[in-house]
Structure 1
Amino acid sequence: MFKPADVSNVARELIVSRSFRHALMLIIPYACVLVGLDVAAHYGDATGAALPVQFFMSQDRSFGEFLEYSLTTASAVIMLLLWLRTRTMLFLTSALLFLWMTLDNSVEIHERLGFVIGAWVPPVAGLPVAPHHLAETMVFGAVGLVWLAGMAVSLRRSDATAAIYGLIIILCIAGAALFGVVVDLLTSWGDHGLALLNILSFVEDEGEFAMTILAFAISVAIFDRERATPPQPA
């Protein structure tokens, strides 16, 4: 369908595009403020100087969470507009995933399902993690498999350029999952000292935050690139 060189060429075009830079210029200054607040909150937690919970990136309804809601919602809208313009299923599949990310962050879907499923999962001897944390990982895994199946079908029906877009989006989401799922499981795995717990939580939150920003900027760049391309006749 396409060669590795094609992926790198398209990725380079997106990253050096003016729209990508403008998206990052819009987000990064405020994101840096939020990261600074998160650092201060973690330091305060480790030293006994409590700061407002809204400073923590991981807290629901925190300043950082609201920015993530905005970024994933905007990415979903961008992907939906691209689908309406091109009728490429890959964009619709991506829009649905970004919508899921927004809903999951805002109403804690995976946490709620984790407690429900975890209540039916017996503790595993020798496994230093609570059943509901394992159940949360299972929920993410199930959603991820459904999304990847949809992306696989969409990639087969897409042209080379759209398929490359899809691969880049998959890499962004995989990066977010690495921090939001894998590092989150490590944070819950066994007992940690206060310092290590704060470090793991910081890596998880900031890593997922960075990948969300990157996914948004890539979405903007894809939209701008496609907008400059005349639509193909049906």
Structure 2
Amino acid sequence: MTAASPRAPVAGRRELVLVMLRGGLVPLLLVDLVFCTLHVARWLEVLESDLLLLNVDRGAAEWWQYLKASAVAVALAIMSARSRQPVYAAWALVFAYALLDDSLMIHERGGFRLAHFLGFVGAIGLRGQDFGELMVSAFFGVPLIALCWWAHRRSKPLAQSHSLQLLWMFAVLLFFGVVVDMGHVALVSAGIGFRGMNVIEDGGELFAMSLATAYGIGLLRQWGSSMAERQGRTTSTATAKGSTSASTRVMNYDPFDGRSRRLLDPIDPPPDTHPVAVTPAVARQIIDSFVKRGGSAHSAAGATVWVVLAWCKKQGVAYQLIRHSTGELSGFYIEKLR
């Protein structure tokens, strides 16, 4: 037991990586790396367009970030609708807000106005506006995280495990977007900032959003595959049940069910036959032979012809009664029609 316990987290991490790879983690990170490279190239003045910088509003990298935030929000919303687990919808709202905050500059504009309205002053290397931005982010962020917690408690264990994975990914995003951002401001205020901080801050946000995007898309693809597989198994099971039911209907011995040893009187015997009474067990043997061979031959007396005909009529099985007479080989043949 002690040797097996440490392996559980490893299996969880392996599954996490597989889900993200399925969601396109590698190409997402490669595109992020391209934008970081373009930023450095512009910084070194190898390229001329400022839109290639990571920290430029409405730049190429920022539009790429908008696309990823939209993708993860939509993927989680679809997951919630299909799985009926509220925690996915809650996280979809979180990433939707992250998209709106970046595109509309909610915390920057709100923080600027709040700082001027309340008269915030700079401290510990941060500007008054920075404190305003933190308050605006907390104003919107705390209710959203509370909503995630509420939805988490009301979701199934599997959805809860996915929620915890999304939590740490969002925490990484906040680390670069808030902690590193504020640290950058403080370093610049202290006169010890360096230009590479933009790559760490904005590049870190790119990579963190790629993790969440790959995970959200991977979850949706995994759920779709599992549902398709489940439907396939259901169809196979239904087909098997249908075949079994059909077989059961064919081998339904009514009106010769039961274990009674009492002789059964002939039921509507055809003319020109000399029917005899049989027990239910004998009748079932005759029917088994008829079904297996697709027909049954009877003597000229036709003593048990009535057994097969009575069973066919009761079960709705099509048949053809043939009377043949070839010298001494006269008799009856009942053919089972397919």
Distance 2:130 2:143 in 1: 20
Structure 1 SS opposite 2:55:
coil
| AA matched with 2:41 | A
Please say if residues 121 and 131 of structure 1, whose CA atoms lie closer than 8 Å, have aligned partners that are also in contact: no
Per the alignment, residue 332 of structure 2 pairs with none
User: Unaligned stretches of 5+ in structure 1?
Assistant: none
Per the alignment, residue 191 of structure 1 pairs with 189
Structure 1 SS opposite 2:118:
coil
1:63 counterpart = 2:67 = no
Write the deviation string for residues 28-83 of structure 1: whole angstroms up to 9, x where unpaired: 33222211011223344xxxx88322111111111100110000001011001001
Q: 2:89 aligns with which of 73, 78, 92?
A: 92
| AA matched with 1:85 | R
Change (3 A) 1:65 1:94: same
RMSD, aligned CA:
2.6
**TM-score calculated relative to the size of structure 1:** 0.85
Distance 2:196 2:190 in 1: 10
User: Displacement, 1:230?
Assistant: 3.8
Change (3 A) 1:224 1:21: closer
User: Displacement, 1:158?
Assistant: 1.1
Distance 1:51 1:112 in 2: 29
User: Displacement, 1:228?
Assistant: 2.9
Structure 1 SS opposite 2:199:
helix
Per the alignment, residue 38 of structure 1 pairs with 39
Structure 2 SS opposite 1:61:
coil
Per the alignment, residue 162 of structure 2 pairs with 165
Per the alignment, residue 208 of structure 1 pairs with 205
Question: By percentage of residues, which structure has more helix?
Answer: 1
Higher RCO (CA-CA < 8 Å; seq separation 6+): 1
User: Displacement, 1:223?
Assistant: 1.2
Distance 2:33 2:153 in 1: 39
Distance 2:140 2:7 in 1: 31
User: Displacement, 1:122?
Assistant: 2.6
Question: By percentage of residues, which structure has more strand?
Answer: 2
Per the alignment, residue 129 of structure 1 pairs with 126
Moved more, 178-187 or 138-147: 138-147
Please say if residues 20 and 220 of structure 1, whose CA atoms lie closer than 8 Å, have aligned partners that are also in contact: no
Distance 2:97 2:54 in 1: 19
Per the alignment, residue 18 of structure 2 pairs with 16
| AA matched with 1:87 | R
Change (3 A) 1:126 1:76: closer
Per the alignment, residue 26 of structure 2 pairs with 25
Change (3 A) 1:85 1:112: same
Please say if residues 14 and 222 of structure 1, whose CA atoms lie closer than 8 Å, have aligned partners that are also in contact: no
Structure 2 SS opposite 1:128:
coil
Structure 1 SS opposite 2:210:
helix
Moved more, 61-70 or 49-58: 49-58
Structure 2 SS opposite 1:16:
helix
Moved more, 128-137 or 173-182: 128-137
Change (3 A) 1:50 1:197: farther
Moved more, 5-14 or 108-117: 5-14
Structure of greater Rg: 2
